[in-house]
């Protein structure tokens, strides 16, 4: 690597491979060893201390590289897995021990030292997957969001990367998901932060194993046709003394003004105006894509970058906006097939527009408005849903302003909000009937899908990082049949292109009846290149033996999903025979209609193939 070029780009905020310059790298400089390099421009002296030199700061003093603020030293005899820190002496003579911001691996908490690891040891055989993957605009995307430490436990310990490879991948495959999204797997000191308060942006957490084992997990996912998405937190970092806070005795990664540096989470905000910080974070995002073949990055708390402190009244943070655009520009340039996903609660425009068109450059944005409106509606007593009818229709009024992803994430299963199933109105049976209706609506609605682990079998207990999911619930028929329902939903979603190929096309979705507030019945259809897919939703406890629904095409309509089927613990009020269209006598927008059975709280999907256009052939 051209060190001089990297240093120049680093100071310009344009470096996308800063980990090649900084950190601990094996090399041969007269003897086998490791070269350590760190950025500490305000330091008076810097030393490497570690298990290889008895943590003695006199044995490996680092030298300053010109006036760049970069310190470096070669230490012979250092081996794989050796622990180390940087002992930094500030301008006042005070010494502090810091973990390496660019460490590739770290000690397991509560220990805080960095560990030497050779990235060249990672092995891959996923070339076919990497060549064919895409961001999936026209494809089905059903994401399973996972907290790695709380999916399953081995006794009191969480599953390792090896165990997840052996168990999580087959589970995801069996139940029809296309992607796994991990809550942050960067290193972090406090389990209760779920990884969102990071200390090591290049270090895969040692809680579950080592880098080779994590790479093996990703590689195995790719062999099974499953994408891997990682959460990243480019907004803030932990205050712990061993980390980035006042790294060389002065604010280096955080804002200098305390009112800008202090975050709402008790952490410190990155100074996203600082060019070296920009290089640090952009390189970190590139690092996970290049080194670990990650297929997507979900950026946390984007609204807190758009606005100062996430507060619109404080105005936009122009430096942070420039950082987002630059980071996404480089990510798209280097990895156009990697999904870039914004968790953004604001209505800031053009979040998913290209940076070349003045946008922020994300591929997808979480539709948190849809999530809030939808859950609020399903919480409401059906007697009063007539007044909230708009909550289920409003999303399509703005949907095409961005490329939205529909999330029912960990955020909807914590902090006293209750789990998704428990937020439904009614008694036990009514909750299950309505949560099935909700998911049928979610999967028929345009936009890619994300569900937190446990949603697929309707857990009632809120997420707790100290416990595994309540797998014993699958011993109860209603939960077991719900998992079957969710699996079928995923499989139908993946196999019927009408549900995904027109997600962001105005012609892919059409309301049939968005205004039947009196009966709280909604109907719409998705239009694909091969078929029409009709969705009819009944949101009250009244059932109908004969319910007329206008349809966009003449022919035979077949029911392919009914949330009240008996195999899903429903009342079995279904449409088992094909439904033939009939013609209306009076002029209408849809001249054809079908008459169907519609159970209480049921959601029904029916399909009709498109007729092939005839072509005239001359003899």
Angle at 133 between CA 130 and CA 134, to 5 degrees: 140
Under 8 Å between Cβ of 3 and 209: no
Distance CA 423, CA 414 (A): 12
Contacts of 217 (CB under 8 A, 6+ apart): 161, 162, 164, 165, 169
Is 271 a residue of the active site? Answer: no
Contacts of 213 (CB under 8 A, 6+ apart): 160, 161, 162, 165
Which residue among 343, 363, 388, 527 is the active-site one?
A: 343
| Burial per residue of 185-213, b for 16 or more beta-carbon CB atoms within 10 angstroms, e otherwise | bbbbbeeebbbbbbbbbbbbbbbbbbbbb
Distance CA 199, CA 237 (A): 6
Under 8 Å between Cβ of 224 and 180: no
Under 8 Å between Cβ of 380 and 430: no
Under 8 Å between Cβ of 187 and 242: no
Which residue among 187, 260, 300, 367 is the active-site one?
A: 300
Q: Which residue has the tokens 């996404």?
A: 328
Structure tokens given for 571: 């009342």
Distance CA 456, CA 145 (A): 11
Under 8 Å between Cβ of 187 and 203: yes
Sort strands 448-452 and 142-146 into parallel, antiparallel or unpaired.
parallel
Distance CA 385, CA 521 (A): 10
Give the dihedral sign, CA 274/278/279/281. positive
The DSSP letter of residue 338 is S
**Spacing of C-alpha 28 from chain mean position:** 40
Structure tokens given for 583: 């013609």
Longest alpha-carbon distance in the chain: 95
For residues 186, 334, 348 and 147, what is the CA-based torsion angle, rounded to 10 degrees? -20
Distance CA 388, CA 334 (A): 45
Under 8 Å between Cβ of 421 and 458: yes
Distance CA 26, CA 80 (A): 9
Q: How many CB atoms are closer than 10 A to CB 253?
A: 22
Distance CA 123, CA 113 (A): 26
- Residue 328 Cα distances to 63, 227, 477, angstroms: 34, 20, 46
Residue 497 has phi, psi (to 5 degrees) of -65, -20
Q: Which residue has the tokens 């428990």?
A: 422
Distance CA 111, CA 83 (A): 10
Q: Which of 441, 608, 432, 405 is nearest to 523 (CA)?
A: 441
Q: Is the peptide bond before 521 cis (omega within 30 degrees of 0)?
A: no
Is 181 a residue of the active site? Answer: no
List active site positions: 300, 343
């Amino acid at each position: 690597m051209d060190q001089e070029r990297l240093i120049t780009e680093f100071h310009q905020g344009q470096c996308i491979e800063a980990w090649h310059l900084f950190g601990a790298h094996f090399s041969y400089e007269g003897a086998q060893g490791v070269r350590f390099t760190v950025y500490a421009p305000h330091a008076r002296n810097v030393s490497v201390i570690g298990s290889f030199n008895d943590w003695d700061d006199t044995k490996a003093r680092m030298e300053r590289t010109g006036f760049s603020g970069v310190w470096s030293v070669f230490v012979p005899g250092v081996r794989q897995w050796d622990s180390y820190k940087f002992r930094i002496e500030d301008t006042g003579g005070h010494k502090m021990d810091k973990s390496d911001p660019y460490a590739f691996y770290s000690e397991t908490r509560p220990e805080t030292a960095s560990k030497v690891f050779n990235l060249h040891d990672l092995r891959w055989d996923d070339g076919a997957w990497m060549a064919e993957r895409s961001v999936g605009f026209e494809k089905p995307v059903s994401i399973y969001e996972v907290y790695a430490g709380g999916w399953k436990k081995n006794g009191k310990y969480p599953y390792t990367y090896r165990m997840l490879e052996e168990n999580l991948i087959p589970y995801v495959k069996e139940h029809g998901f296309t992607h796994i999204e991990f809550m942050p797997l960067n290193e972090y000191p406090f389990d209760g932060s779920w990884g969102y308060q990071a200390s090591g942006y290049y270090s895969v957490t040692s809680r579950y194993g080592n880098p080779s084992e994590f790479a093996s997990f990703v590689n195995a996912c790719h062999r099974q046709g499953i994408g891997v998405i990682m959460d990243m937190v480019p907004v803030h970092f932990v205050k712990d003394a061993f980390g980035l806070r006042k790294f060389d005795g002065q604010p280096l990664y955080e804002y200098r003004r305390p009112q800008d540096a202090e975050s709402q989470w008790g952490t410190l905000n990155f100074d996203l105006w600082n060019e070296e910080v920009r290089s640090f974070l952009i390189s970190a995002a590139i690092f996970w894509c290049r080194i670990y073949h990650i297929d997507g990055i979900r950026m946390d708390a984007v609204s807190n970058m758009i606005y100062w402190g996430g507060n619109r009244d404080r105005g936009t943070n122009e430096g942070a906006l420039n950082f987002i655009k630059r980071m996404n520009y480089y990510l798209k340039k280097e990895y156009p097939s990697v999904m870039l996903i914004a968790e953004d609660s604001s209505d800031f425009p053009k979040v998913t527009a290209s940076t070349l068109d003045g946008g922020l450059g994300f591929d997808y944005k979480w539709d948190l408005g849809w999530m809030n409106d939808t859950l609020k509606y399903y919480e409401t007593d059906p007697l009063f849903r007539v007044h909230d009818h708009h909550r289920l229709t409003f999303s399509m009024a703005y949907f095409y302003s961005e490329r939205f992803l529909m999330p029912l994430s960990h955020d909807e299963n914590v902090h006293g909000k209750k789990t998704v199933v428990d937020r439904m109105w009614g008694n036990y049976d009514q909750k299950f009937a309505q949560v099935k209706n909700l998911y049928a609506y979610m999967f028929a609605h345009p936009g890619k899908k994300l569900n937190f682990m446990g949603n697929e079998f309707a857990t009632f207990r809120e997420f707790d990082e100290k416990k595994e999911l309540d797998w014993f619930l699958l011993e109860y028929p209603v939960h077991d049949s719900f998992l079957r329902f969710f699996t079928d939903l995923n499989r139908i979603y993946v196999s019927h292109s009408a549900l995904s190929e027109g997600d962001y096309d105005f012609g892919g979705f059409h309301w049939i009846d968005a205004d039947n507030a009196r009966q709280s019945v909604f109907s719409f259809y998705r239009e694909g290149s091969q078929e029409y897919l009709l969705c009819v939703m009944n949101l009250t406890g009244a059932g109908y033996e004969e319910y007329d629904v206008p349809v966009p095409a003449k022919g035979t309509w077949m029911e392919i999903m009914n949330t009240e089927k008996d195999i899903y613990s429903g009342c079995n009020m279904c449409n088992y025979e094909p439904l033939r269209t009939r013609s209306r006598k009076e002029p209408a927008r849809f001249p054809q209609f079908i008459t169907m059975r519609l159970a209480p709280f049921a959601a029904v999907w029916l399909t009709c193939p498109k007729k092939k256009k005839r072509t005239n052939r001359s003899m």
